[in-house]
């Protein structure tokens, strides 16, 4: 279905689902579609400078918001986990930054590890991708970002102990 034929709220959801059009990139739409996640984190900086529980809560709420957005977009595009749908990428990206400082090198590391784990989809992320609808679209990214979070913390702690931070 064309976007022009959609009602107002559905157009807004489809625009959100495509990462404001970044998901329409002909190549690496998931990578392009993750970029708003960095801006989202910067907008959430007051929460990220507070207790970690606020970060966890914010990341959980964003992931839950992604589910219906991706569900509606999947129905709109008529294809399981259509590549144009990137709300799952940018709305789950904050997960891989929980408990870490919002500094450029950590954001860059998180972006890189997020993309690597999203492409590799280590178990059970690949299996979760087969779940139906918006839940299936989002839960594999949540899982991949948890792997990214673990690696990001490991690297951060190693660098901290080496005295390079």
Peptide bond into 124 cis (omega under 30): yes
Q: Provide the pLDDT for residue 47.
A: 87
Q: Are 79 and 19 in contact (CB under 8 A)?
A: no
Stated pTM of the model: 0.92
Mean pLDDT throughout 99-105?
96
Quick: pLDDT tens for 8-61: 888 899 999 999 999 999 889 999 999 999 999 999 999 898 999 999 999 999
d(CA 88, CA 65): 9
Q: Rounded to 5 degrees, what angle do the CA atoms 47, 53, 59 make?
A: 65
For residue 129, which of 142, 111, 116 has the smallest C-alpha distance? 142
pLDDT tops 50 at residue 1: no
d(CA 65, CA 137): 12
Quick: pLDDT tens for 147-162: 999 999 999 999 999 9
């Amino acid at each position: 279905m064309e976007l022009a034929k959609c009602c107002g709220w559905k157009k807004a959801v489809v625009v959100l689902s495509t990462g404001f059009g970044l998901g329409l990139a002909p190549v690496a739409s998931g990578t392009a579609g993750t970029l708003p996640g960095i801006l989202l984190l910067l907008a959430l900086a007051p929460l990220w400078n507070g207790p970690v529980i606020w970060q966890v809560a914010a990341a959980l709420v964003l992931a839950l918001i992604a589910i219906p957005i991706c569900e509606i977009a999947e129905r709109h595009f008529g294809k399981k986990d259509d590549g144009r749908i990137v709300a799952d990428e940018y709305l789950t990206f904050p997960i891989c930054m929980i408990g870490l400082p919002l500094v450029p090198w950590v954001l860059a590391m998180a972006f890189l590890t997020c993309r690597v784990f999203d492409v590799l989809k280590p178990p059970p992320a690949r299996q979760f991708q087969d779940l139906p609808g918006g839940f299936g679209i989002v839960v594999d990214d949540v899982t991949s970002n948890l792997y990214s979070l673990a690696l990001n913390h490991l690297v951060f702690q190693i660098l901290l102990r080496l005295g390079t931070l």
